[in-house]
Amino acid sequence: MSTEIKVEEDVLSLNRKNASDNRDYFARLGVYVLNLMSGPGAGKTTLLERTAEVMGKRLRMAVIAGDLETSRDADRLAKFGVPVVQVNTKGSCHMEAHQVARVAKGFDLQNLDLLIVENVGNMVCPAEFDLGETDRVMVLSCTEGHDKPGKYPLMFRESRLLLLNKIDLLPYVYFDVNAAITDARAVNPGMEVIQVSATKGDGLPAWFDWIAQRVKQVRGR
Amino acid sequence: MHETSLAEKIVETALEVARENGAKRVSRLNLLLGELAGVEVETLAFAFQVACNETAAQGCQLQVERVSGRFKCWTCANERGGDLYDLCPSCGNPGGDILAGREFRIISVDVDHDTGPEGTSEP
């Protein structure tokens, strides 16, 4: 004899609650939190190396690096003197809010302006998992193709800024910058775009200023 | 790709419901799944069966009700179906609020108070 029991429970509700707790906590302490998302190989870690090198001197910053395995990203970033913690998701394709909460406690958050979470390289799953960040930033590199905003609209819809990376390679690859931006803005009209090359340095000052301005806005609230 | 961890969460909830209701077995789980939820249903179904193994939900049937995407145009407020990426058929502009399609909800679970066909029922 079987009985049906009503549950009506959102499967992701626990993550949403954890994310909301994180958001309140970070806001209370005045920490600006960036969730940096992209597919694998878009250049997130190189971008973070340059960012840590410059912004680590301008602001008090820390990084949480998410990956399936290894501490390679954290090792690369630790050289620049900013506190870095690696989270290995062990096969899971995205980071969850409770992982951020657990790791963030290890930083001196009271004395932090900027916390960057480098999400696991993946264009689908991280979009569904709120971490309690202040802003989401999407990195798309021109070697991935300009069709990506159209194919993975949710990810682009949720981001405040699009960093178009590896623009030094534009002469060598087929990538229509305008098409990529048009498609991204079709799902997210307010999306800001900065074109950069993390390896060559193009556009990076604009990215650094963008961060500084957002930190100021958030801390000024 | 995150279907395995999602399947584990679902099974955990179902087992909890069974425990709270003093049931021995979970025989069916009814799930509402939006087409924009980023979850692949066949992968989820497979991961679900694996997650049920050696628990009180072993062999549990997974019933999935799909929800299509519905959008409200940012420009003219027209409501439409289709894909997130489509242009509004009424005014031709892109973009809109997502009204439906991101659901991922356990609606109900069917539980048994005996241990199944081979089991013995408790008094």
CA distance B123 to B121: 6
Residue ranges of chain B whose pLDDT lies below 50: 119-123
Average of per-residue pLDDT across A166-195? 95
| For chain A, domain boundaries | 7-216
- Choice between A127 and A208, residue whose per-residue pLDDT is larger: A208
φ, ψ of residue A104 to 5 degrees: the values are -60, -30
CA distance B88 to B82: 10
Confidence grade of residue A154 (pLDDT, cut at 50, 70, 90): confident
| Alpha-carbon distances, residue A183 vs A109, A153, B84, B94 (angstroms) | 37, 8, 12, 9
Residue A93 sits at the chain B interface (C-beta within 8 Å): yes
The angle formed by the CA atoms of residues A46, A34 and A77, to the nearest 5 degrees, is 30
Within 8 A of B65 by CB-CB distance, chain A residues are: none
A9/B106 CB distance under 8 A: yes
pLDDT tens-digit series, residues B23-37: 999 999 999 999 988
Within 8 A of B36 by CB-CB distance, chain A residues are: 154
Within 8 A of A187 by CB-CB distance, chain B residues are: 84-85, 94-95
Closest residue in B to A8 (Cα) is B107
CA distance A157 to B35: 16
Is CATH 3.40.50.300 the classification given to domain A7-216? yes
Closest residue in A to B71 (Cα) is A187
Residue B74 sits at the chain A interface (C-beta within 8 Å): yes
Out of A2, A14, A125, closest to residue B111 by CB: A2
Q: What is the mean pLDDT of chain A?
A: 92
Closest approach of chain A CAs to the CA of B38, in angstroms?
A: 7
Residue A157 sits at the chain B interface (C-beta within 8 Å): yes
Residue A4 sits at the chain B interface (C-beta within 8 Å): yes
- Strands, DSSP E only, in B1-123? 25-34, 61-67, 70-73, 79-80, 96-100, 104-112
Within 8 A of A14 by CB-CB distance, chain B residues are: 9
Strand A114-118 versus strand A32-38 pairing type: parallel
Residue B36 sits at the chain A interface (C-beta within 8 Å): yes
pLDDT tens-digit series, residues A39-96: 999 999 999 999 999 999 999 999 999 887 777 878 888 889 899 998 887 777 888 9
pLDDT tens-digit series, residues A54-64: 999 999 999 99
The predicted complex's ipTM stands at 0.82
Out of B2, B6, B106, closest to residue A7 by CB: B106
A18, A34, A94, A67: CA torsion to nearest 10: -120
Share of chain A above pLDDT 70, in %: 99
Residue A190 sits at the chain B interface (C-beta within 8 Å): no
A3/B113 CB distance under 8 A: yes
